[in-house]
Amino acid sequence: MMRPSTFFFLTRRGVRNLGKHWAMTIACIASLSVCMTLNIFASLAEVNVGSMVAYLGSQNETVVYLDPECDDATAAQVLFFFHEPQRQYYFMAQSIGSVVSGTTYPSDDPELVAVEADYAAKETALQAEIDNIESSHPGYDEYRYDLDMIGHDPHELAAYLSAVLQGYTRQSAQAELERVFDAQYELTLTEEVEIRYRTETSTDPVTGETTTEEVPYEYYILNVKLTSKPISSVASELLTPEQLEMYQVYRQTLGNKPLIFGGGSPDTSNSEDLTGVVFVNGTRPGNQAVVDIAKSQVGNVGGQPYWSWYGFNSRVEWCACFVSWCYGQMGLSEPRFAACQSQGIPWFQSHGQWGGRDYANIAPGDAIFFDWDLDGSADHVGLVVGTDGSRVYTVEGNSGDACKIKSYSLSYECIKGYGLMNW
């Protein structure tokens, strides 16, 4: 099918089966060089709406939702509106109850990243609270833990907030962050007392006779339970039907900013061959076992084993999940992160295990972070295989949606830094 760079689709009466309750107009807001007639468009009426939204979002187009009962005058007003040479509108037509929504996150990039970091900080604080339960609640004979995963998909959070708040800032988002967090996580501490028996032995001081008896005592248990759910479930519970439609559009398109929170590499080239590479060992030992685990995954496409292991129920940008999965296969509970800039780098920095791009003593198994657009925010992460003195060799998940071996000059400007593992 022809894919014109500029086109205009306008659904009119009779073309209603694109959605369950509404008609959909898809418009390119550039100069309109191609006009497809209604008859041609009608042949597309059975296509999957989600797929169309995802494709058009990737092309920076705008999806328009019209009330199915809108009249011809309203449709004409929308047509006139979209002849304006602008892109990525967010517009609410209050008078007709229609929503015209751009597929791009309406907030500024620094605000998106800052709000994501705030939510990740809440999760870090929750994990720290759980880690310190035994010191903050001393005196129990036993602590029992039943813990769900702590973590979220940053794009799910951004889609939710965009649907509710439209354009938001770090300040304006705080109340909604609290509402989402309280709906996603519930930590409960329950005291339980059991009557147990212990054997006590005593000796009569006169006769020297020894006797034993079972003596009851109270055994105190603190049950620590964390329940969590994905933000997608929270969205289904808290959003209005209209907001939920907007949320789903943003989820389909990733707000046209798939790497805003760090999410992979667009590299579609083949995995590299390490044959003949002579690695130069530094003074840090590293861990060859975790490298071997990572290398054994080369060729995986889609990342399902890694993002599902992390706890996501559908595909996310999975480079960080892959690195966390590799560490998890070594029996490590941390570092564990699903986002590069807001979760991964802060963990290494807070533990004093961070090295900048010029750090010279990298070792097998370290994490390597990349900033593709040099905006100061990490976009991708992989595992260090080693260095030959001039290049660093890596295993990366979500490199063109696959696990690959890659290499870069040690002075490559897009290397943001290294997460240094202590084995």
pLDDT-based confidence at residue 260 (cuts at 50, 70, 90): confident
Supply the pLDDT for residue 70: 56
pLDDT surpasses 90 at 57: no
The predicted pLDDT at position 409 comes to 96
Query: Residue 54 pLDDT more than 60?
Result: no
Closest CA to 116 of 321, 336, 343: 343
Least confident residue range of 18-32, 201-215, 225-239: 18-32
Which pTM value belongs to this model?
0.57
| All residues at 6 or more sequence positions from 131 whose CB lies less than 8 Å from its CB, including other chains | none
- Does the structure show a pLDDT above 60 at 343? yes
What is the distance between the alpha carbons of residues 195 and 354, in angstroms, rounded to a whole number?
50
Q: Which residue would you say has higher pLDDT here, 277 or 32? A: 277
Q: Which residue has the higher pLDDT, 247 or 18?
A: 247
What pLDDT was estimated at residue 264? Answer: 76
The DSSP secondary structure of 40-105, one letter per residue, reads HHHTTTTS-HHHHHHHHHHTT-EEEEE-TT--HHHHHHHHHHTTSS--S-EEEEGGGTEEEEESS-
CB 372 within 8 A of CB 414: yes
High-pLDDT (> 90) share of the chain, %? 59
pLDDT tier at 262, thresholds 50, 70, 90: low
CB distance 74 to 96 below 8 Å:
yes
Do 57 and 252 form a contact (C-beta atoms < 8 A)?
Answer: yes
Say if residue 199's pLDDT is above 80.
yes
The rounded percent of the chain whose pLDDT value lies above 70 is 75
Q: What is the dihedral of CA 150, 156, 158, 161, to 10 degrees?
A: -90
Question: Strand 354-356 relative to strand 415-419: parallel, antiparallel, unpaired?
Answer: antiparallel
Burial of 219 (0-12, 13-18, 19+ CB in 10 A): middle
Give the confidence band of 317 by pLDDT, cuts at 50, 70, 90: confident
Tens of pLDDT, residue by residue over 98-143, are 333 478 999 999 999 899 989 988 988 998 899 899 999 999 999 9
350-365, pLDDT tens digit by residue? 999 999 999 999 999 9
More confident residue, 317 or 396: 396
For β-strands 404-409 and 391-396, DSSP reports them as antiparallel
pLDDT of residue 407: 96
Q: For 168-191, give the DSSP string.
A: --TTTTHHHHHHHHHHHEEEEEEE
Which distant-in-sequence residues (6+ apart) come within 8 Å of 2 by Cβ? none
Query: Do residues 392 and 333 lie in contact, with contact meaning Cβ atoms separated by under 8 Å?
Result: no
Structure tokens at 234: 């929270």
Sheet with 142-147, edge to edge strand ranges: 142-147, 210-228, 185-203
User: Which range has the top average pLDDT, 4-8, 281-285, 323-327, 397-401?
Assistant: 323-327
CA angle 307, 312, 317 (to 5 degrees): 50
pLDDT digits (tens, 9 = 90+) for 172-193: 999 999 999 999 999 999 999 9
**Mean pLDDT, range 261-282, rounded to an integer:** 86
Beta pairing class for 62-66 and 367-370: unpaired
Q: What is the DSSP letter of 394?
A: E
Q: Mean pLDDT over residues 329-335, rounded? A: 94
pLDDT band at 84 (very low <50, low <70, confident <90, very high): very low
Question: Which range is most confident: 34-43, 69-78, 208-217?
Answer: 208-217
Question: Do 259 and 155 contact (CB within 8 A), yes or no?
Answer: no
User: Cα–chain-centroid distance for residue 19?
Assistant: 28
Whether residue 11 is predicted with pLDDT greater than 70 in this model: the reply is: no
Query: What's the half-sphere exposure (Cβ side, CA atoms, 13 Å) at 222?
Result: 15
Task: Answer whether 170's CB lies under 8 Å from 182's CB.
Answer: no
Residue 74 clears pLDDT 70, i.e. is over it: no
Least confident segment among 30-39, 202-211, 226-235, 261-270: 30-39
55 vs 218, more confident: 218
Most confident of 36-50, 65-79, 206-220: 206-220
Confidence of residue 267 (pLDDT cuts 50, 70, 90): confident
pLDDT at position 80 over 80: no
Question: How big is the chain, counted in residues?
Answer: 423
3-class secondary structure, 350: helix
> What pLDDT, on the 0 to 100 scale, is given for residue 66?
52
CB hemisphere CA count around 291 (13 angstroms): 19
- Identify the residue with better confidence: 198 or 76: 198
